[in-house]
Amino acid sequence: MASHIVGYPRMGPKRELKFALESFWDGKSSAEDLQKVSADLRESIWKQMADTGIKYIPSNTFSYYDQMLDTTAMLGAVPPRYGWNGGEIGFDVYFSMARGNASVPAMEMTKWFDTNYHFIVPELGPDVKFSYASHKAVTEYKEAKALGVDTVPVLIGPVSYLLLSKPAKGVEKSFSLLSLLGKILPIYKEVISELKEAGASWIQFDEPTLVMDLESHKLQAFTEAYSALESTLSGLNVLIETYFADIPAEQYKTLTSLKGVNAFGFDLVRGTKTLDLIKGDFPKGKYLFAGVVDGRNIWANDLAASFSTLQTLEGIVGKDKLVVSTSCSLLHTAVDLVNETKLDKEIKSWLAFAAQKVVEVNALAKALAGQKDEEIFSANAAALASRKSSPRVTNEAVQKAAAALKGSDHRRATNVSARLDAQQKKLNLPILPTTTIGSFPQTMELRKVRREYKAKKVSEDDYVKAIKEEIRKVVKLQEEFDIDVLVHGEPERNDMVEYFGEQLSGFAFSANGWVQSYGSRCVKPPIIYGDVSRPKSMTVFWSTLAQSMTARPMKGMLTGPVTILNWSFVRNDQPRYETCYQIALAIKDEVEDLEKNGITVIQIDEAALREGLPLRKSEQAFYLDWAVHSFRITNCGVQDTTQIHTHMCYSNFNDIIQSIIDMDADVITIENSRSDEKLLSVFREGVKYGAGIGPGVYDIHSPRIPSTEEIADRINKMLAVLETNILWVNPDCGLKTRKYTEVKPALKNMVDAAKLLRTQLASAK
**Is 135 one of the catalytic residues?**
no
Average pLDDT over residues 356-368: 98
Average pLDDT over residues 562-569: 96
Distance CA 331, CA 354 (A): 8
**Which CATH number fits the domain that encloses residue 750?**
3.20.20.210
Distance CA 343, CA 346 (A): 9
Structure confidence at residue 386 as a pLDDT band (50, 70, 90): very high
Q: Which tens digit of pLDDT belongs to each residue from 102-118?
A: 889 899 998 899 998 99
DSSP code of residue 729: B
pLDDT of residue 374: 97
Residue 687 lies in a domain: yes
Rounded to the nearest 5 degrees, what angle is found at the Cα of 177, between the Cα atoms of 174 and 178? 120
* Burial label, 570 (beta-carbon count in 10 A; 0-12, 13-18, 19+): buried
Q: Which tens digit of pLDDT belongs to each residue from 436-445?
A: 999 999 988 9
Q: Which tens digit of pLDDT belongs to each residue from 569-608?
A: 999 999 999 999 999 999 999 999 999 999 999 999 998 8
Average pLDDT over residues 310-314: 97
CB 185 within 8 A of CB 228: yes
Report the share of the chain in percent with pLDDT over 70.
Answer: 98
Residue 679 lies in a domain: yes
Structure confidence at residue 52 as a pLDDT band (50, 70, 90): very high
Alpha carbon separation from 324 to 10, 234, 383 (Å, rounded)? 22, 25, 22
pTM, two decimal places: 0.92
Residue 423 lies in a domain: yes
Write out the residue range of the structural domain in which residue 738 sits.
397-509+538-764
Residue 553 lies in a domain: yes
Average pLDDT over residues 678-692: 77
DSSP code of residue 260: T
Pick from 402, 587, 585, 393: nearest CA to 507: 393
Report the share of the chain in percent with pLDDT over 90.
Answer: 88
Distance CA 495, CA 740 (A): 19
Q: Is the pLDDT of residue 714 over 90?
A: yes
Structure confidence at residue 701 as a pLDDT band (50, 70, 90): confident
Residues in the chain: 765
Average pLDDT over residues 532-541: 97
Edge-first strand order for the sheet with 2-4 is 2-4, 322-326, 287-293, 263-267, 237-241, 202-206, 151-156, 57-59
Residue 655 lies in a domain: yes
Positions at the binding site for Zn(2+): 647, 649, 662, 671, 733
Pick from 38, 70, 333: nearest CA to 46: 38
Positions at the binding site for L-methionine: 437-439, 490, 605
Average pLDDT over residues 379-383: 97
Average pLDDT over residues 508-515: 93
Residue 238 lies in a domain: no
Rounded to the nearest 5 degrees, what angle is found at the Cα of 69, between the Cα atoms of 67 and 73? 110
Positions at the binding site: 18, 116, 437-439, 490, 521-522, 567, 605, 647, 649, 662, 671, 733
pLDDT of residue 674: 64
Average pLDDT over residues 661-688: 80
Edge-first strand order for the sheet with 667-670 is 555-559, 601-605, 643-648, 667-670, 692-695
Q: Which tens digit of pLDDT belongs to each residue from 292-304?
A: 999 999 999 999 9
Rounded to the nearest 5 degrees, what angle is found at the Cα of 3, between the Cα atoms of 365 and 290? 85
Instruction: Tell which wins on pLDDT, 354 or 683.
Output: 354
Pick from 551, 581, 743, 728: nearest CA to 647: 728
pLDDT of residue 764: 83
CA max distance for the chain: 83
CB 87 within 8 A of CB 133: yes
Query: Out of 258-262, 671-675, 750-754, which region has the weakest mean confidence (pLDDT)?
Result: 671-675
The overall average pLDDT reported for the chain is 95
Average pLDDT over residues 639-664: 87
Average pLDDT over residues 633-637: 96
pLDDT of residue 650: 57
pLDDT of residue 651: 59
Amino acid at 390: S
Residue 751 lies in a domain: yes
Residue among 118, 332, 629, 701 flagged as catalytic:
701
Q: Which tens digit of pLDDT belongs to each residue from 668-678?
A: 998 887 666 66
Residue 726 lies in a domain: yes
CB 616 within 8 A of CB 213: yes
Domain count, the chain: 1
pLDDT of residue 676: 61
Query: What ranges make up the beta strands (E) of 294-375?
Result: 322-326
pLDDT of residue 496: 80
Give the three-state DSSP class for 322.
strand
What percent of the chain is helix, strand and coil (3-state, nearest 5)?
Answer: 45, 15, 40
pLDDT of residue 677: 65
pLDDT of residue 638: 97
Q: Is the pLDDT of residue 228 over 90?
A: yes
Q: Is the pLDDT of residue 171 over 80?
A: yes
Give the three-state DSSP class for 277.
helix
Average pLDDT over residues 740-758: 97
